[in-house]
Amino acid sequence: MNTRQQGFTLVELVVVIVILGILAATAIPRYASYTKEARTAALNGLAGSLRSAVVVVQGRYIAQGLAAGPVTMLDGTSVTTTAGAAGGIPTVAAGGIDNAVNVPATSFTYAGATGLWSLPTAIAGCDVTYAATGLVTVASGAC
């Protein structure tokens, strides 16, 4: 009478588990790297948007011949700016740069002369800072 073997041997199961362990050990660090790169790219995109908004608002300020007061954008949004000959830079306070750049997936907070944009995950040291002078800096070290 012939009997057929059904199922896997213990050696076969151990070999499969070892192969899966090796694959997991190489895939997890790569995934972590992709996550950091994606966060950094998102911050750099936001920083580019802020820099562009500063230039557009300042350009409209000059084109409208303003010496003070808010700049009205084409969509009707009012952006509070600095005044004077070198003015037109969106302010940090509410109604300034946050009106010029509407990024709903981030959180914007301001204190004094700087504003801070954070990603929805809110990782300290992984954000974009806007200064009252129009300077935009990216901190991606902790992403």
Instruction: Evaluate if residue 27 carries a pLDDT over 90.
Output: no
75-113: pLDDT as tens digits:
999 999 998 777 899 999 889 999 999 888 788 888 888
The domain segmentation of the chain, as residue ranges, is 11-139
Vertex 73: Cα angle to 71 and 76 (nearest 5): 110
pLDDT band at 1 (very low <50, low <70, confident <90, very high): low
pLDDT band at 64 (very low <50, low <70, confident <90, very high): confident
Cα 47–chain centre separation: 7
Give the SS3 label for residue 59. helix
